[in-house]
Chains A and B, each alone.
Chain A
Amino acid sequence: MAQMKYFYELTISSSPHAHTPITTQTIMRDVLIALAPALLGGIYFFGFRALAVTLVSVAACVFFEWAYCKITKAHCKIYDLSACVTGALLAFVCPVTIPYWTIILGALFAIVIVKMLFGGLGKNIVNPALAGRAFLFSWPVIMSTWVSVGYENAPGLLSTADIVTSATPLANMHQGMMPTDSIMDMFLGNVGGCLGETSALLLLIGFGYLLVRKVITPRIPVAYIGTVAVLTFLFPLGNDRIAWMCAQVCGGGLMLGAIFMATDYVTSPVTKLGQIVYGVGCGVLTVMIRYFGGYNEGVSYAILVMNCCVVLLDRIGRPVKFGAPRKEAAK
């Protein structure tokens, strides 16, 4: 009996037994750190309402995940920080003037319907933050009100009544014109747009951090942005090819989408070839929607559509089993 007692204290589990310090939590923490520069940029360009909207969104996402787990009596995993990332990304793809109740409903949709009902993190088919944004187009006027940048135009924390609206560079480009803002402004983020998407520079800093920490590989973002660059260079809607290409690449949510959303582990392919095809697909769809679509911006819908193709893209570029006959491998 004495021996049996010790036996029960052993933890018996199946292999692998090797441990890695990388967990979902550390990855998500790195993503949050990488998003920080863009948030600071958002606060600088649009005022403290940007911070407030982001915090509300993050809090709502975490709360809804916790509440869902409570109600369904499921194991609660809010400490993996994935809900925080979803909340931050959702806020980043909304205009800074969005009312708080709207972003809370967006968080509800993103977390409960898109993520938890499909089985939680790892089982969702599409990116929750982008699906939340798509759902928020239920209020199209709210989602297409763009405040002018600058300290004096910053919307109030509680009231957005007397804001100065402006056209975004994307709206200009959608009409086939060069944006009124300079390319430099667009690169730095000194233009109208969603809360966290305007500054290509700050997003690229986050990209660099993620690459250094090896959280993501450059395959999807490079394939995505490269495709958009090539297509817009080949088919410019103006006289200056280079300027048009730069404006398209820096404008709208392309950087944010390509770096932080298209690379979502759950909703992107696992094979190298699959990832490249996925990135190219996102790029082609983005350009098609920007050129021919009804909306100004195509990034979110392009990524959502490609998310749905991931199950197919995962089949291409699979490594051949060692020692498998060629014919069988082809099958």
Chain B
Amino acid sequence: MNFKRQFREGLLTKNPVTVQLLGMCSTLAITTSLFNGIGMGLAVTAILTCSNILIAALRNFIPSQIRIAAYITIIAGFVTVVDLLLKAFIPALSQSLGVFIPLIVVNCIILGRAEGFASKNTVLASAVDGICQGIGYTLALVIMCVIRELLGNGTFGGGLLNGGEGIRLIPSQFPAMQMVMPVGGFLTLGFVIAGSQWLMKHLDIKNKKKEAAK
């Protein structure tokens, strides 16, 4: 397998959020502070990698008729483990993400990668896929978090820096509250997708020029 290509796909050309549009519910709901974005991203990356490894290892053992049930059971198991661990050791993150940690069970990224990748590839490739897709998801989330937190709350690094308050960049009477409300989620997602499309096109043109120069 080409790991470099997998990384590139996860980060940009097949990014789970901006290209595959998977896991929108949590993406739109929790991207209101940097802490949330990083926490959710790492939780999903961990679960995705674990479930990808296990499902790839069991891919010849699970009959295809019951594969979805088996995958969901495995995914739900990992999600519950992560949920319990967060509750016990990082209660602040668990409180902040609330119901969206248990909801990772139905996050399409995990099942999508299990069905689309891990069930057809080796354990190593699946592990790499889980990590790359997870990083792509985290990156998209963090970008959305930074934009929404800055415009909607006027801070950077909420829940993480400056004792959880975040560093205030815009005086508190100016930020547009709607940006941390659902409407801001949709708007920001639209702009992030547009930005990633622009970037891909830009890189494409650059590559073609390079080839032409050769």
Contact = CB atoms under 8 A, between A and B. Distances in A.
A139 B176 contact: yes
> From DSSP, what is the main secondary structure of chain A's interface residues?
helix
Contact of B177 (A101, A113, A134, A138): A138
Contacts of A101: 174
A88 B178 CA distance: 23
A105 B177 CA distance: 13
Interface in A116-141: 134-135, 137-140
Contacts of B178: 134-135, 137-138
Nearest to A137: B178
Contact of A113 (B152, B173, B187): B187
A105 B187 contact: no
A135 B176 CA distance: 8
Identify which of A105, A134, A137 gathers the most chain B CB atoms within 10 Å of its CB: A137
Interface in B168-192: 173-179, 183, 187
A74 B177 CA distance: 31
B187 A139 contact: no
Contacts of A139: 173, 176-177
A138 B187 contact: no
Contacts of B176: 105, 135, 138-139
Contacts of B179: 138
Contacts of A135: 176, 178, 183
Contacts, number: 20
Interface residues of B, number: 10
Nearest to B178: A138
Contacts of B177: 137-140
A186 to B, nearest CB: 30
B192 to A, nearest CB: 14
A138 B177 CA distance: 4
B163 to A, nearest CB: 26
Interface in A91-121: 101, 105, 113
A79 B174 CA distance: 32
Interface in A125-160: 134-135, 137-140
Identify which of A105, A138, A139, A140 gathers the most chain B CB atoms within 10 Å of its CB: A138
Contacts of A137: 177-178
Interface string A273-316: 00000000000000000000000000000000000000000000
A101 B174 CA distance: 9
Nearest to B180: A138
A134 B181 CA distance: 12
A105 B152 CA distance: 13
B32 to A, nearest CB: 14
A15 B187 CA distance: 40
Interface string B133-175: 0000000000000000000100000000000000000000111
List 9 tightest A-B contacts by C-beta distance, closest first.
A138-B176, A138-B178, A138-B177, A135-B178, A137-B178, A105-B176, A139-B177, A113-B187, A140-B177
Interface of A: 101, 105, 113, 134-135, 137-140
Given A134-B178, A139-B176, A140-B177, 15 more contacts: A101-B174, A105-B176, A113-B187, A135-B176, A135-B178, A135-B183, A137-B177, A137-B178, A138-B152, A138-B175, A138-B176, A138-B177, A138-B179, A139-B173, A139-B177
20 contacts: A101-B174, A105-B176, A113-B187, A134-B178, A134-B183, A135-B176, A135-B178, A135-B183, A137-B177, A137-B178, A138-B152, A138-B175, A138-B176, A138-B177, A138-B178, A138-B179, A139-B173, A139-B176, A139-B177, A140-B177
